[in-house]
Amino acid sequence: MRARLVAVLVLLAALAGPARASDWGLIVPGESTLESIRARYGSPTSAENQKVENYDALEWVYQGAQAPPGVVRLTVSFGLLTPGGYKKDVVRTFRLDPKPGSFNKKLVVDGWGPPTRTGHEGRFEIFLYEQGLLVYFDKDGGDATMMVFTPPQALPAAPPQR
């Protein structure tokens, strides 16, 4: 019976495919709200009111003991301009600063699929996902050092290969 349950779970995981690029830790930019973040992660370590494009916005930071496992810091930015108007309590973006070894390149590709684009900023490799994820890898290209989650982004056409 237990082997059958494990086989069913493995099959369901395989059929599910990679996670949405803009999704991690039950946070979905453009969908998750301030209250859903508070319910999941508790009160932030710090909170800061900001102005973003003349709108009142809020940024919450979870770090130290309040950061999720495997993460040095989780930064959640609230306030999203939508076709229906400005929604101050909706997640605009969030950023993970992972602990070394928490998110390597293989884990990122296994979890979110192959990137839409890759590039470099200085010596750092970057993965860009049209579904809303930007991943910076360390100078050795092995570990993710920063992951920024956004609503899906339409990317401009790639420059021609030479």
**pLDDT 10s digits, 59-74:** 999 999 999 999 999 9
Q: Would the pTM count as exceeding 0.85?
A: no
Task: Report whether 38 contacts 26 (CB < 8 A).
Answer: no
The mean pLDDT of the chain is 85
Instruction: Please state, in angstroms and rounded to a whole number, the distance separating the CA atoms of residues 138 and 155.
Output: 24
